[in-house]
C-alpha cells in the first residue's frame, strides 16, 4: 500500500521526485501541479460515465463500471510511466487524494515503483498555493511605458543573480491588446496561480524580488488580489526611454508577425483609441507604416500607464535608460541601497 504524505512534504519532494497527475485530461489542462505529467485513470468521457453511475446507482456500481473501463488499460499505465520516469520514487495525486490516486499508486507499487500519495490531492495543493499569496513579499516593482525594455531588463537582472518574478512570462502574454502575438496559448487563471506559487516558493523571503508592473489582468489571466495589492504598495522604479526608441523596439518586436494579428489587436481597443484613430492605425498597418501605427497606440497606452502610476502608494523613482547593462547595474545598486 502506498504511503500518504502531507502537502508540506509533497512540496519538499516535488523538485526531487517526478509527480504524476492521475485526473482526467480536462482537469489536468485546467490546472495542475507544475512539473507533473498526466497519466489519467479515466479520460473525460469515462469520468462522466462513472460519475453518472455513482449518482444514479451508488458507489458500488460506480466502482464496478470503473473497473471495467480501467482493466484493459493497466499495462498501458505502466508502460507510460516507464517511458516518462527513470527512477522508482514517484509522487501521485488526484483531486482529493481518494480512490483514483490510491488505485494508481497500488498499481504502480505492483510494478516496482515506490509511490507517495498526496493527502487531500490537488485540492490541498490549491489551498496551499492560495495561502502563500497572503504572505508578505519584498517586491521591487519595475515599471515604465510600453516599449521601454522592461522584459529584457528583468531577464538581465535574473542573469545577474537578482530574484525575479516574470509575470508576463508565466502568463504567456505581454499585457497589452497586442500581448498575445507570438506567444504560446495562455494558461487558465488557475494554472497561472499554480505557476506563480511555484516561483514564489523558491524565493528567499529576506531578499527583495523584482516584479514587473502590471494591471490586475494580464491578457485573460488575473493576478491574485493579495499579490496585486502588495505590488501597488511596494517601491516602484520607472524606466524612462525616449519615444522613438520605444517605437523602434516595438517595430522590431512585431515586424515578423502577420498584419492581420496587429489589425485584430487594434480592433480590440478601437473604442478606447477612438474610431477615427483606430481606422487610421489600421490603414497604416495595411500600408506597412508600422512605426506610425505604433505611435498612435502608444498615445493611449501612455495615458493609461500614467493613470496607473498615480495609484501607487509610494512615489516611483525614475531611472533614465542607459543601455541594458548600465541600467541593470544602476537598479542593482539602488536595490542594495534600500533598507528593505
- Range 167-172, long-range pairs (CB < 8 A, 24+ positions): 167/196, 167/211, 167/212, 167/214, 167/218, 167/223, 168/212, 168/214, 168/218, 170/195, 170/196, 170/199, 171/218, 171/219, 171/221, 172/219
Q: List the beta strands (DSSP E) in the chain.
A: 3-5, 19-21, 37-38, 89-93, 114-118, 139-144, 163-165, 209-212, 217-218, 221-222, 236-240, 317-320
User: If you compute the radius of gyration of the chain from its CA atoms, what whole number of angstroms results?
Assistant: 24
Q: What cell does 338 get?
A: 534600500
> Within 10 A of 146 (CB to CB), how many other CB atoms are there?
21
> Which residue is listed with cell 545598486?
333
- Among residues 181, 172, 250, 251, the alpha carbon closest in space to that of 218 is found at 172
- Among residues 115, 221, 207, the alpha carbon closest in space to that of 157 is found at 207
* Cα(329)–Cα(143) distance, integer angstroms: 16
> Which residue is listed with cell 517601491?
235
Active site positions, annotated: 94
Amino acid at each position: 500500500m502506498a504511503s500518504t504524505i502531507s502537502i508540506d512534504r509533497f512540496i519538499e519532494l516535488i523538485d526531487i521526485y517526478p509527480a504524476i497527475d492521475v485526473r482526467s485530461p480536462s482537469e489536468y489542462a485546467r490546472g495542475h501541479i507544475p512539473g507533473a505529467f498526466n497519466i489519467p485513470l479515466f479520460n473525460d468521457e469515462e469520468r462522466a460515465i462513472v460519475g453518472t453511475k455513482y449518482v444514479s446507482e451508488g458507489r458500488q456500481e460506480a466502482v464496478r463500471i470503473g473497473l471495467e473501463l480501467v482493466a484493459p488499460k493497466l499495462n498501458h499505465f505502466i508502460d507510460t510511466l516507464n517511458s516518462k520516469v527513470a527512477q522508482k520514487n514517484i509522487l501521485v495525486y488526484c483531486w482529493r487524494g481518494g480512490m483514483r490516486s490510491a488505485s494508481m499508486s497500488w498499481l504502480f507499487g505492483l510494478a516496482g515503483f515506490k509511490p507517495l500519495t498526496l493527502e487531500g490531492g490537488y485540492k490541498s495543493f490549491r489551498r496551499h498555493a492560495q495561502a502563500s499569496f497572503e504572505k508578505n513579499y519584498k517586491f521591487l516593482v519595475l515599471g515604465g511605458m510600453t516599449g521601454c525594455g522592461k522584459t529584457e531588463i528583468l531577464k538581465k537582472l535574473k542573469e545577474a543573480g537578482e530574484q525575479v518574478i516574470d509575470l508576463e512570462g508565466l502568463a504567456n502574454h505581454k499585457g497589452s491588446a497586442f500581448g498575445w502575438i507570438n506567444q504560446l496559448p495562455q494558461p487558465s487563471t488557475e494554472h497561472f496561480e499554480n505557476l506563480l506559487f511555484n516561483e514564489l516558493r523558491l524565493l528567499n523571503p529576506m531578499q527583495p524580488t523584482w516584479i514587473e508592473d502590471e494591471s490586475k489582468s494580464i491578457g485573460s489571466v488575473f493576478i491574485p488580489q493579495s499579490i496585486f495589492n502588495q505590488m501597488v504598495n511596494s517601491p516602484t522604479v520607472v524606466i524612462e526611454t525616449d519615444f522613438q526608441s520605444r517605437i523602434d523596439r516595438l517595430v522590431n518586436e512585431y515586424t515578423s508577425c502577420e498584419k492581420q494579428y496587429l489589425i485584430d489587436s487594434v480592433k480590440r481597443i478601437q473604442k478606447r483609441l477612438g474610431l477615427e484613430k483606430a481606422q487610421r492605425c489600421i490603414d497604416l498597418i495595411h500600408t506597412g507604416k508600422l512605426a506610425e501605427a505604433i505611435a498612435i497606440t502608444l498615445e493611449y497606452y501612455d495615458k493609461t500607464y500614467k493613470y496607473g502610476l498615480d495609484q501607487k502608494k509610494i512615489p516611483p523613482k525614475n531611472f533614465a535608460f542607459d543601455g541594458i547593462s548600465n541600467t541593470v547595474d544602476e537598479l542593482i545598486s539602488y536595490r542594495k541601497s534600500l533598507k528593505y
